[in-house]
Structure 1
């Protein structure tokens, strides 16, 4: 249970996240299979374990873990398009008349309904951790759409969820650019060997560097011409490495062996205990890492009126 990506959301009001009440709320929005004529369903599942008895909320110390599952029927647009074209040609040939837009749309709907029961099913799962004392919700995804799907469904289950994406006072790209220019990041942070440079002008170019010495003259030349660092690989202490972009999306999180080995030791031989140990250790690490990161980026921005 190690998050691989991270989107951070700030709770804008104090909310009591009682595990039992949250469990009851999520039970009102359970994940379920798609019916024969449904394109998609979305609901909550147990983050650990399987079966009806597995809880929808995993609580450990001051942290809560939840998971949502999306199930969707895959119906390629090209298949529908080809079937519609064939049907239209059949009607126009047999009835010697033109099939216009309104009838085409009706035919398309009929084709979709006929194909749906035979469509392939795809399932995807999204995890989120709630840290009430930190006032944060952390979603294990780099996709804001996936995160918003989970948060909006959680809002429906709870009745309200005052939350917004966390932001910082200084544009992240400005800070990341300064770090690469100075060849040094904030204390406890280390610049690694990967970045993305983007020209700020409209239709400007993009340079992506991997396994590159970012202190080189070549990189510094790009910066001197006005390019901004919009993505940068970093390490924090000796605990984790990640890629941060200018939207504050944390990608490709990697926890160092020191942490994963400690979780294995704490969890013992039981699989669920292993998951609990890794989740707890991950969240304790985030409790130190995230405040340090936001402070290094200029401090969290608190909108007026909040």
Structure 2
């Protein structure tokens, strides 16, 4: 199922998004790594056909493939040490730092074509109705790299990550203290508590968060850095103070809705699953966002 993690960006102006189409995505379609490339990123079909964009109603789905070469630092360091030693023996002196860096660059050029590659796939969801774009990642760096890929072709892409008018840790802490989250949400069983005065963290996993022990942590000054919630009894997720949604899970009742598709209907199943999840998460985000803003 789609979107185990999600970083949501609101759009101040959706005119740029309207310019995203298959022709534009073809210009930034995926191309495999060349002999000297560390990594390559580009768009591929989200449903394994020729189209690079799937649009169903008010929702569009894009998919990015990132291919990266694997060069373990231990291998590089070992071969570099051997190369430096040979060169120092040849010159009868110690190499300067700049000379070692040059040797490393030469070594990387030699090693890259031999390196294995790994692939990572990331989905991008555009909600045209509610004006937001979401990246299925828990890393802002990865999400920003993908948006930069789009922005390069679009020229501009004015988006803002979710934020709050009040400190998120204060809001989450109050929810946990009162055992009452936002409307349509209930507190689940995971939380990460931090002490603002030191680096110590307490990770609570699959625990009853209503106990006196948890309340004592809060009374002692710890705040909530992340907390898991249940939305309308069918979707669970964790949200942290950066407003990244992670560990998104769906109820069996929801997952069973598309089980009538057979194995030969892969494309139809992908489309149905995407639309099902997009509508569910749209509702979740729409109910969640007002809690981040003060009157």
Q: Is it true that 1:156 corresponds to 2:155 in the alignment? A: no
Name the structure 1 match of 2:112.
Answer: 116
Q: Deviations 1:28-72 (Å, cap 9, x if unpaired)? A: 01101111111111111111114xxx2000010111000111111
- Is the counterpart of residue 244 in structure 1 residue 276 in structure 2? no
Match in the other structure for 1:95: 91
* 182 and 91 in structure 1: CA distance in 2 versus 1, 3 angstrom threshold: same
Offset of 1:204 from its aligned partner?
A: 3.7
CA deviation string 1:78-129 (max 9, x = no partner): 2221112111211222332221122111111111111111011111111010
Residue 125 of structure 1: SS of its match in structure 2? strand
What secondary structure does 1:10 align onto?
Answer: strand
User: SS in structure 2 opposite 1:129?
Assistant: strand
Q: Which runs of 5+ in 1 are unaligned?
A: 302-306
In the superposition, the TM-score normalised over structure 2's length comes to 0.94
Q: Aligned Cα RMSD in Å?
A: 1.7
What is the CA–CA distance in structure 2 between the aligned matches of 1:189 and 1:141, rounded to whole Å? 22
Contact 1:264 1:277 in 2 (8 A): no
| 8 Å Cα contact 1:192/1:235 also seen in 2 | yes
Aligned length: 294
- In the alignment, is the contact (CA less than 8 A) between 2:193 and 2:201 conserved in 1? yes
Contact 1:126 1:146 (8 Å CA) reproduced:
no
Question: 1:33 — aligned with what?
Answer: 32
Superposition TM-score, scaled by structure 1 size:
0.91
Tell whether the 8 Å contact from 2:42 to 2:66 is kept in structure 1 after alignment.
yes
Q: Distance in 2 between matches of 1:3 and 1:238?
A: 18
Match of 1:171 among 164, 167, 173: 167
- After superposition, give the CA deviation of every residue in 1:139-181 in whole Å (9 maximum; x if it has no partner): 1111111111111101112222111212122222111111111
2 CA distance for matches of 1:187 and 1:114?
58
Please point out which of 287, 294, 298 is paired with 2:292: 298
Deviation per residue, 1:187-225 (Å, 9 max, x gap)? 211111111110011x24211111221111111111001
Larger displacement relative to structure 2 (244-253 or 81-90) = 81-90
The equivalent residue for 1:60 is 56
Instruction: Report the secondary structure of 2:137's partner residue.
Output: coil
Q: Distance in 1 between matches of 2:75 and 2:282?
A: 48
Q: Residues 186 and 81 from structure 1, CA distance in 2 versus in 1: closer, same or farther, beyond 3 angstroms?
A: same
Q: Which residue of 1 aligns with 2:22?
A: 23
Q: Distance in 2 between matches of 1:38 and 1:183?
A: 51
* Distance in 1 between residues matched to 2:193 and 2:88, nearest whole Å: 54
Aligned residue in 1 for 2:268:
273
Residues 72-151 of structure 1 aligned to structure 2 (within 5 Å): 72-151=68-147
User: Superposition pairs for residues 150-299 of structure 1, below 5 Å?
Assistant: 150-201=146-197, 203-265=198-260, 267=261, 270-295=265-290, 297-299=291-293
